[in-house]
Structure 1
Amino acid sequence: MTDPSSSSSQADSLPSKIHQTPFPMPLPPRRRHREAQIERAYELQRSAAIRGATIWTFIGLSSTFLSHHLFPRFRGQTLAFKAFLVSGFTIFGFVVGADTVLLNHEGAQRSEEDMVRTVARRELGRKGIIASEAEIERWKRETRERLLREREQQQQQEGEAQTTAP
């Protein structure tokens, strides 16, 4: 009969792909781009949530203050209830502000990606290539590299023109 502790030690000694590399493998460009998009969306959402919460907290405070001074029945309410109302305004602003900006950002990204894919399909179709996902990704990569080369050449030409100008 085998000892259960020995089988677990054998499993621990088996090489694992995760433990073979001392550092994590670099992410593919598409995944890095996706993570950058997620980070950008998070920053937009965070700032919009703070801005929305601040605005709606002010609206809640001013409404509570005015109601306290204008309506005797409201004046009789407890401080905890009034704080609850203000916190409701704050949470509303936080959620709606973040959600609105995130939905607008996602819509803009989606329309931009659709536009790029439409151009890619059109150009690949002119070349007689079926626009598969891999072909579209290759087209995007090649177009990005071509635009970067053109920009670098333009900057070099501008730099040369500035050095030769009196």
Structure 2
Amino acid sequence: MSEPRSRQRQDVAEAYSIQTRSGIQGALRGGSIGVGLTIISHYTWPFFRRQTFQFKGFIVCTCTVFGLVISAERALQEYEALRRWEENDIRKEARLHLAQQGIIPTETAIAKWRANQEADTERPN
């Protein structure tokens, strides 16, 4: 398997774990808000008290799913922004080094530069 492909698989696995953890936390937060609002509404609003148990459960489920989705999406967007920022820094450094050597920084040249940099950091002194 090629190096970029394995790096991409690692990124996907890390993003999945971040999104899963954040989604569970968001679901717990949203579910507790839904339960709390349902209890408060039940005891303070006569119209809501007359609603069926299924409808109240639907309200709690809706809050739970909303919390899960929003939290997981926010975590994923933050992770993607961080990865984009790191990638842009690496590409900026590669363009600078290649330009100093008189090489036009094409995608191929940047990929070769990156492979050389990774090989240099892995090589023991």
Counterpart residue number, 1:146: 120
Q: Percent same amino acid at aligned positions? A: 34
Deviation digits for residues 110-150 of structure 1 (CA, Å, limit 9, x no counterpart)? 1110111011001100000111111111111111222233x
**CA positional deviation for 1:97:** 0.8
Counterpart residue number, 1:135: 109
Asked if residue 89 in structure 1 is aligned to residue 63 in structure 2, the reply is yes
Which amino acid in structure 1 is aligned with residue 53 of structure 2?
L
d(CA) in 2 for partners of 1:74, 1:54: 23
For residue 130 of structure 1, give the secondary structure of its aligned residue in structure 2.
Answer: coil
Gaps of 5+ in 2: none
Counterpart residue number, 2:87: 113
For the aligned residue pairs, the C-alpha RMSD in angstroms reads 1.0
Asked if residue 122 in structure 1 is aligned to residue 96 in structure 2, the reply is yes
d(CA) in 2 for partners of 1:51, 1:132: 43
d(CA) in 2 for partners of 1:29, 1:73: 62
d(CA) in 2 for partners of 1:86, 1:123: 56
Which amino acid in structure 2 is aligned with residue 31 of structure 1?
R
d(CA) in 1 for partners of 2:114, 2:26: 37
Gaps of 5+ in 1: 1-26, 154-166
List aligned pairs for 1:59-74, cutoff 5 A: 59-74=33-48
* TM-score after normalising by structure 2: 0.95
* TM-score after normalising by structure 1: 0.73
Structure number with the bigger relative contact order (C-alpha 8 A, sep ≥ 6) is 2
d(CA) in 2 for partners of 1:104, 1:124: 30
Structure of larger gyration radius: 1
